[in-house]
Amino acid sequence: MEETNMITMAAKAADDKRAEDIIALNMNGVSLIADYFLICHGNSEKQVQAIATEVKKQALEQGMDVKRLEGYDQARWVLVDLGSVIVHIFHKDERNYYNLEKLWGDAPHLPLNEILA
């Protein structure tokens, strides 16, 4: 259940900073990297940094371990590693280019509409 709490926290934190197109992928059996990916994007470097800062802040406030934060200075693709959940925060242009949703297309999507309502 801890992963569910992480996904919920990260999705709400990203939504609080107006992240767009927030999706969660169940990576169990698809990738060894993590159990879940949360993917979203911002429209500017400042917004991407604000989303990453909020996810990290909320995680630490809830006693979650933030293992790594990468890409923050460039703010084109920021990765927040929470262990079994990895949050990918893209600049809009980079998200379209890397298209993780297509790359990991066989991973089931988790419904976030209730969380973000």
* C-alpha–C-alpha distance, residues 113 and 116, integer Å: 5
Range of 6's domain?
A: 2-110
- 55-106 tens-digit pLDDT: 999 999 999 999 999 999 999 999 999 999 999 999 999 999 999 888 888 8
- Whole-model pTM: value is 0.93
What does R_g of the chain's alpha carbons equal in angstroms? Answer: 13
- 9-65 tens-digit pLDDT: 999 999 999 999 999 999 988 888 899 999 999 999 999 999 999 999 999 999 999
Q: Return all residues near 111 (Cβ < 8 A) that are at least 6 apart.
A: none
Question: In terms of C-beta density within 10 A (0-12 exposed, 13-18 middle, 19 or more buried), how is residue 24 classed?
Answer: buried
* C-alpha–C-alpha distance, residues 26 and 12, integer Å: 18
Asked if residue 115 is part of any domain, the answer here is: no
Q: For the domain that residue 9 is a member of, what is the CATH number?
A: 3.30.460.10
Asked if residue 10 is part of any domain, the answer here is: yes
DSSP code string of 77-101? EEEEE-SSEEEEEEEHHHHHHH-HH
Number of structural domains the chain divides into: 1
